[in-house]
Amino acid sequence: MLRARPTVRWRLTLLYSVLFLICGAALLAITDSLFANAFVYPKPRPGPGGGLPDPSSMALTAALSHQRSVGLHRLQVDSGVALGLMAVVSGVLRTISATAERISDTNLHERLAMLGPRDELRLLADTIDRLLARLEAAFDAQRRFVANASHELRTPLAMMRTTLDVAIAKPGGVPVQTRELDADLRVDLDDADRLLESFLTLARAQNGQLDDHNAVALEPIITAALTARADRIAARRLAVETHLAAVEVAGSATLLGRMIENVTENAVRHNRPGGSIELTLEPVNGQRARVIIDSSGPMLDQDAVAQLAQPFKRLSQNRTGSQNGHGLGLSIVAAVAAAHDGSVALHARAEGGLRVQITLPASIPQLAEAAR
């Protein structure tokens, strides 16, 4: 059995807390020392002829000494209580900060839900919770609009196709110009259909709507994606190298297939003639599956590459080579991975081109097989 190791965040939190307590204790020690040396009281005056000290002088000295001890003790107690309260406040603020940082657009349903008296910290946590609730409602409204609009737009597109079919099927034939216009319009309609399908897939993935949750083998999906693009790969003289292990992940076969399709299409479409594509599928620590797609191409800027997972984000004309595509491919990849509790990392390769790394949880049967 592997023991869970503390994360870097918690190790840093522990380090900061210890440093805070050490610095606070050192400050208290300095304050205590200054307070102890601040009281200078007179020594008892000797009596007549150098005899015993005067009783009144001894009483005054004893009273001052007692007052000094009481004050020093009270200072130590109050300072210790203040240090403890500040340590608790520091820990609570750190917890609020860590929770707020963890919450993203994929888990806006989470709340800080801070308990306790309605003090300043409770009011701060409640304010953040209300802000998260408004953000969640806005994101949900946006996703519903995209899904509903995509469904509704399919009807007029189908009617346009029907109108074209009727126009082309007229008795006696149609002019050549009309047929050419028909062909151009059908290409545009196909492009609109693909855009709507991309919208629907993105909305489903962002909402976490998995149509099934089974063990899905990624190796045949990758092989099928490459086979479907074999002609284009040959036409562009792309060298393809694969390293595929038998790894299964748990999730939706439909969404996972679309994810692999999109990342493979991206590697083919945005490659250079005579370039290369390398696909790797491997298990990671027997608990996760990792897909790595390296594709050649021009030099890319890492800051711009990191934003490609956002919808409608594309790089310069030099990379795309055309205006094909809608800028949704990698955003769908990122959304599908997030819906399966995975992640996507995009890196500009030092030699030019792009590396896409997808990490997904492996299925339970796959873990048992890897253990044997």
For the chain, domain boundaries: 8-102, 149-206, 214-371
For 336, the token pair is 């599908």
- Across the range 335-350, mean pLDDT stands at 87
Mean pLDDT value across the chain: 75
Give, in order, the Cα–Cα distances in Å from 233 to each of 108, 322, 330, 356. 41, 17, 20, 19
Element (H, E) at 284: strand 276-284
Residue the block writes with tokens 């949750």: 213
pLDDT band at 55 (very low <50, low <70, confident <90, very high): low
Quote the pLDDT of residue 326: 53
Whole-model pTM: value is: 0.53
State the helix-helix crossing angle for 8-38 and 55-102, rounded to 10 degrees.
160
Please determine, for residue 6, whether its predicted confidence score (pLDDT) is greater than 70.
no
222-266 tens-digit pLDDT: 999 999 999 999 999 999 999 999 889 988 888 888 889 889 998
Please determine, for residue 140, whether its predicted confidence score (pLDDT) is greater than 90.
no
- On whether the CB atoms of residues 297 and 352 are closer than 8 A, the answer is yes
Q: What DSSP string runs through 206-267? A: HTT--S--EEEEHHHHHHHHHHHTHHHHHHTT-EEEEEE---EEEE-HHHHHHHHHHHHHHH
Q: Give me the CATH topology for the region 214-371.
A: Heat Shock Protein 90 (3.30.565)
